[in-house]
Amino acid sequence: MENELLERLRHSAAHVMAQAVKDLFPEAKLAIGPPIQDGFYYDFDVARPFTPEDLERIEARMREIVAADHPITRSEMSREEAIRHFGDRGERYKVELIREIPEETVSLYTQDGFTDLCRGPHVESTGEVKAVKLLSVAGAYWRGSEKNQMLQRIYGTAWPTREALDAYLANLAERERRDHRRLGRELDLFSSREEMGAGLILWHPKGAMIRHLIESFWKEEHLKRGYEFLYTPHIASEEIYRISGHLQNYAENMYAPLEIEEHPYRLKPMNCPGHILVYKTHLRSYRELPIRYAELGTVYRYERSGTLHGLLRVRGFTQDDAHIFCTPEQLVGEVIGVLDFVDFLLRRFGYTYKAYLATRPEKSLGSDDVWEHATRSLVEALEARKLTYEVDPGGGVFYGPKIDIKLYDALGREWQGPTVQADFNLPERFDVTYVGADGAEHRAVMIHRVVLGSMERFIGGLIEHYAGAFPLWLAPVQAILIPIATRHGDYAHQVAAELRAAGLRVSVDDRSEKTGFKIREAQVQKIPYMLVVGNREIEQQSVSVRSREAGDLGAMSVEGFLSKAQAEMAMPG
């Protein structure tokens, strides 16, 4: 009920904003204005983009409309009458929408002489829209198509009380502080350059170190669980994707073919066909199963330029991919094993999570019996792990149902994370078999899974989760030596060499700057420990330790600091 009331409130706020825009910009043409999570937006066709000053004027006019407490009333018109009504007013987008409505009548909502096409529902009067704030403006193509007119989309938020609005705006400010794109620049982790191409990431040394640490940890844990590593090419013959069904079911996400000696090749959108071909290089016995192949495999998928977003939405990314080949009897146990692995990894990174069961989509391969078997197996695994889950109807991939794991970060936001997919269809299409105990060939079952997701998206989310302040085991620079004066530099480098030899990632700031300045800069760079050295530290063969979180920790021997750091790195989470 609370969500319904919020939706009504935000829907009505969108209408109040549309009225304000029409009052201030009479030539503006109205498109659509729905409520969305945490707010609302409205698209307008205007002669020039809205400016920040325009948003201030629109918000001020909205406050006047709210203060007047105009009743919001519903009425109906025949479809033809509504077409004439909006056509006479030059509202061509409304006319286009009305022509597609199958019903003979349409509903309208009116306040203070402003009428808009809308299914509703709304609040009773404009006075109920008490706590509202306009947030931003962006370009948006009509109906999301680059072939259509570029419109101006104004985003806003509305809440039942001023206190709720203030809390949301504070959370929004915290999100901005944690934005991985801003932190990526400030901490020198990664970039995306126009010269390289949109949606393609350049990993800088510090970002590459974080990625290396995660990937090394990932590899170690996979080896413990019986996985074997593969490498597969970045391009492949188009024929393999015809067999897999990607060309028929996924072509809109693939790049155009490359012609090599009159034969079409494709940048790979998925790693699974290559893993299948490795499996098929030998006749497999049931005694070998399950076989678990893993690859940090880079794939390429077409994303519209308007959807690209830092590390979170890119055109080339590396999946922490794996495919398990097993017997039907082993399927549930293998899925349980993956869910156990997911739980271990996510807790190491400090995440809580929730599971979703994504079922058969409209565009899919295979019989109802196969889908039912695969879905039932995933349900059995979820129940065996005592994982509560929600059903995501039609959210599966074209070859099978899946378990989606959504992560919750430090601000309580939901992120796409691991997925586990049960697949009976690709083994059929590629004739993936094993020899059973009876000496006959049987169809293998395939599990597709990622336990982190894409490395780009996972690290982007991790930057925001930690607000750039990585725990010691993941920090690209774990400690920085800060000599007080030039004469202390040799000792700083000597200590740094000792710590590096023991496995710590250490740097030395021996610039001719004041100590306080160097400490502040190290804090800005979110380095976990600052080790200040001067005359006293040289005499005592010690370091003065400052913690990023706790401040001054006093003097410690080099061995004492090393023991502290090693103990901290061994702690989970």
In the predicted structure, residue 188 carries a pLDDT above the cut 90: yes
Alpha carbon distance 454, 313 (integer Å):
10
Distances from the Cα of 372 to the Cα of 215, 357, 359, 360, 438, angstroms: 35, 13, 9, 9, 26
465 is catalytic: no
What's the Rg (C-alpha) of the chain? 29
In the chain, % of residues over pLDDT 70: 99
Q: Mean per-residue pLDDT for 151-168?
A: 95
Name the active-site residue from 402, 449, 457, 526. Answer: 402
Name the active-site residue from 22, 29, 313, 323. Answer: 323
* Among candidate residues 275, 328, 334, 323, the one with its CA nearest the CA of residue 434: 328
> What pLDDT digit, counting tens, does each position of 343-384 carry?
999 999 999 999 999 999 988 888 888 899 999 999 999 999
Q: Coil, strand, or helix at residue 159?
A: strand
Beta-strand pair 402-408/352-358: antiparallel
Q: What is the predicted pLDDT for the residue at 2?
A: 57
Q: What is the predicted pLDDT for the residue at 250?
A: 83
Q: Which residues contact 97 (CB under 8 A, 6 or more apart)?
A: 32, 117
In the predicted structure, residue 332 carries a pLDDT above the cut 50: yes
Where b means 16+ CB within 10 Å and e means fewer, 220-254 reads: eebeeeebeebebeeebbbebbeebbbbebbeeeb
The length of the chain, given as a count of residues: 573
Q: What is the predicted pLDDT for the residue at 4?
A: 86
Per-residue tokens: 482: 């800060």
Query: Which 8-state DSSP code applies to residue 487?
Result: G
- Residue 120, amino acid: G
Q: 427 preceded by cis ω (within 30°)? A: no
DSSP string, 10-78: HHHHHHHHHHHHHHH-TT-EE----EETTEEEEEEE-SS---HHHHHHHHHHHHHHHHHT-B-EEEEEE
- Interior angle at CA 162, CA 156 and CA 164, nearest 5: 75
| Beta bridge pairs of residue 552 | 546
Kindly report the number of other CB atoms within 10 A of residue 505's CB atom.
17
Per-residue tokens: 475: 């920090």
Residue 378 — φ and ψ, nearest 5°?
A: -65, -40
* Among candidate residues 289, 254, 294, the one with its CA nearest the CA of residue 274: 294
In the chain, % of residues over pLDDT 90: 87
Q: Which residues contact 542 (CB under 8 A, 6 or more apart)?
A: 536, 555, 556, 557, 558
pLDDT category of residue 565 using cuts at 50, 70 and 90: very high
Per-residue tokens: 360: 């058969």
Name the active-site residue from 43, 272, 421, 457. Answer: 272
Burial of 564 (0-12, 13-18, 19+ CB in 10 A): middle
pLDDT category of residue 56 using cuts at 50, 70 and 90: very high
Q: Which residues contact 73 (CB under 8 A, 6 or more apart)?
A: 109, 110, 111
Q: What is the predicted pLDDT for the residue at 251?
A: 85
Name the active-site residue from 133, 206, 222, 301. Answer: 301
Query: Which 8-state DSSP code applies to residue 328?
Result: G
326 is catalytic: no
In the predicted structure, residue 87 carries a pLDDT above the cut 50: yes
pTM for this predicted structure: 0.85
Q: Mean per-residue pLDDT for 86-111?
A: 93
Name the active-site residue from 319, 330, 421, 525. Answer: 319
> What pLDDT digit, counting tens, does each position of 476-494 carry?
999 999 999 999 999 999 9
Could you tell me how far CA 117 lies from the centroid of its own chain? 34
Tell me the Ramachandran region of residue 90: left when phi exceeds 0, alpha when psi lies from -120 to 50, beta otherwise.
left
- Segment holding 500, helix H or strand E: helix 489-501
Q: What is the predicted pLDDT for the residue at 494?
A: 96
Per-residue tokens: 337: 């094993």
Name the active-site residue from 321, 409, 423, 509. Answer: 321
* Among candidate residues 229, 215, 459, 222, the one with its CA nearest the CA of residue 338: 222
The upper half-sphere exposure of residue 541, i.e. CA atoms within 13 Å in the direction of its Cβ, equals 4
Alpha carbon distance 470, 461 (integer Å):
12
Mean of the per-residue pLDDT values of the chain: 94
402 is catalytic: yes
pLDDT top residue among 305 and 417? 417
Q: What is the predicted pLDDT for the residue at 1?
A: 41
Name the active-site residue from 85, 315, 448, 457. Answer: 448
Q: What is the predicted pLDDT for the residue at 109?
A: 95
Q: Please, what is the end-to-end C-alpha distance for the chain in angstroms?
A: 37
- Residue 294, amino acid: A
- Interior angle at CA 260, CA 257 and CA 262, nearest 5: 90
Q: Mean per-residue pLDDT for 323-348?
A: 96
Q: What is the predicted pLDDT for the residue at 400?
A: 87
